[in-house]
Structures are given as structure tokens and as C-alpha cells.
């Protein structure tokens, strides 16, 4: 488990690192009798196929409807609770205590004009160029997949859950997981990353598909009670 170096609220993800595997096709067969032209054509075809595989690594959308009705994809990690989170100094555990909701710290790239810890306080939603905007007090419904660390495919590993952004996952110190700017992918090929305080039992860096929604009324009320953001 990594030791946190974030200022108070800025936790580092606990990671189970599995490097993405990219296809390597068209390796030499050792047959020197093949025509050079055919070899070049095959190499070009293989290169195009590899490029398509690598692009689909994060671009999970199968259709305009996304993955079984969800519109976006994210990698995930988990970090515990923050006693003074970036969304107005709230306690992330208190935000969701006694509810069915899950607190997350969203990647810096998902916040608007977030360039350092200081100007990310109470950050609004940003995003763009493939990145979903999810700043303070934004919510989404979604489900975990059986795959982890950005790998494609897999079925569902959980029932539908509702997440709320109560904290920030800054780029500094989390370079592998949390992109700095909208339109950038993390090491695992994803535009979006959500760092869960406490994911459901059995979930460990599982990929997550989601659709943003309006935050439920009870969650909004609790947020405004404990956050200094206005």
C-alpha cells in the first residue's frame, strides 16, 4: 500500500499494477522464401490491426449507447477516507455515511482549470476531448466490470452503484492513474479515473462504466451541511 503524500485530503491510490498488454503481430516466421512485396503488405496490415487494438484498449464504446447502456469508461483505485477533502474540507466518510452512495476522488483532468492543489479547491467540472467533466458534487451511476487496470472486455462484477465526487486525485504523485489535463489518457489507456474511498467488497482496481446523473437530494443536502463550497 502506498503512503499518502497528498496535503491532508489528497490521497494516493492503492494500486494492483498489471501492465496493459498490447498485441504484437506479424513477427518473422523464419521463412525466407516469401515475396518481399507480400511481406510488406502483411506488415502494413498487421500494423493497422495493432493500432486498432491499442486504440480500442480505452475506447470501450461498442456503440453510441456505450457499454450496456452506460456512456463512459474509467479505471479505478481505492485510497480510504480524507478528513479534509478538496471539496470544501469535508470528511469523505461523513459524506456517504449511512447511505448507499460511494465517495470518489476524480482525476485532475476531470476538473475545470485545475493546475495545482491551491486552485483546485471546490473545483467545478471540466473535461472535454474524451474526458468526462466530474468536479465537486457531481454524481454518476455505474457498474464495475470483471476486468481491471484498463483491460477491455469483461462482464459486470457488481450491481449498479451511485458515486459522488468529494475529493480530487491530483496528477502529481499519481501520474500513472490520474491524468493532468482533459484529453490525456492515463498509463492504462483511460481518459477517466475514479479513486474510491471504499469500493464494494471484492472490488480491487476493477474497471468501471458509468453515466453522469444529478446527485440525489439527500446527498446534496448532506454535502452542503459539511462542505464550505458554495
Active-site residue numbers? 81, 195
Give me the half-sphere count of Cα atoms (radius 13 Å) on the Cβ side of residue 55: 8
Angle (CA) 79-91-137 rounded to 5° is 90
- Report the distance separating Cα 144 and Cα 73, nearest Å: 10
Q: Which helix (H) or strand (E) holds 229?
A: none
| Cell representation of residue 89 | 474540507
- Report the distance separating Cα 177 and Cα 161, nearest Å: 22
Residue 219 has a CB neighbour count (10 Å cut-off) of: 20
Residue 197 has a CB neighbour count (10 Å cut-off) of: 22
The CA R_g of the chain, rounded to the nearest whole Å, is: 20
Q: Distance from CA of residue 73 to its chain's centroid?
A: 7
Contact 72, 204 (CB under 8 A): no
Alpha helices for 62-114 (secondary structure H): 92-96
Amino acid at each position: 500500500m502506498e503512503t499518502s503524500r497528498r496535503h491532508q485530503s489528497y490521497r494516493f491510490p492503492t494500486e494492483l499494477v498489471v501492465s496493459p498488454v498490447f498485441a504484437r503481430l506479424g513477427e518473422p516466421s523464419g521463412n525466407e522464401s516469401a515475396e518481399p512485396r507480400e511481406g510488406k503488405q502483411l506488415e502494413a496490415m498487421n500494423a493497422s490491426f495493432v493500432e486498432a487494438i491499442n486504440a480500442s484498449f480505452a475506447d470501450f464504446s461498442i456503440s453510441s449507447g456505450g457499454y450496456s447502456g452506460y456512456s463512459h469508461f474509467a479505471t479505478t483505485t481505492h485510497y480510504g477516507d480524507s478528513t479534509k477533502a478538496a471539496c470544501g474540507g469535508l470528511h469523505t466518510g461523513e459524506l456517504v455515511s449511512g447511505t448507499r452512495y460511494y465517495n470518489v476522488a476524480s482525476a485532475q483532468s476531470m476538473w475545470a482549470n485545475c493546475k495545482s492543489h491551491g486552485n483546485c479547491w471546490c473545483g467545478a467540472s471540466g473535461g472535454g476531448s474524451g474526458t468526462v467533466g466530474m468536479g465537486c458534487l457531481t454524481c454518476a451511476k455505474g457498474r464495475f466490470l470483471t476486468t481491471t487496470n484498463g483491460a477491455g472486455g469483461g462482464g459486470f462484477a457488481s450491481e449498479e452503484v451511485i458515486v459522488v465526487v468529494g475529493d480530487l486525485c491530483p496528477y502529481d504523485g499519481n501520474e500513472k492513474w490520474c491524468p493532468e489535463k482533459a484529453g490525456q489518457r492515463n498509463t492504462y489507456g483511460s481518459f477517466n479515473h475514479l479513486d474510491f474511498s471504499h469500493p464494494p467488497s471484492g472490488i480491487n482496481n476493477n474497471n468501471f462504466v458509468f453515466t453522469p446523473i444529478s446527485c440525489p437530494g439527500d446527498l446534496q443536502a448532506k454535502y452542503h451541511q459539511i462542505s464550505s463550497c458554495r
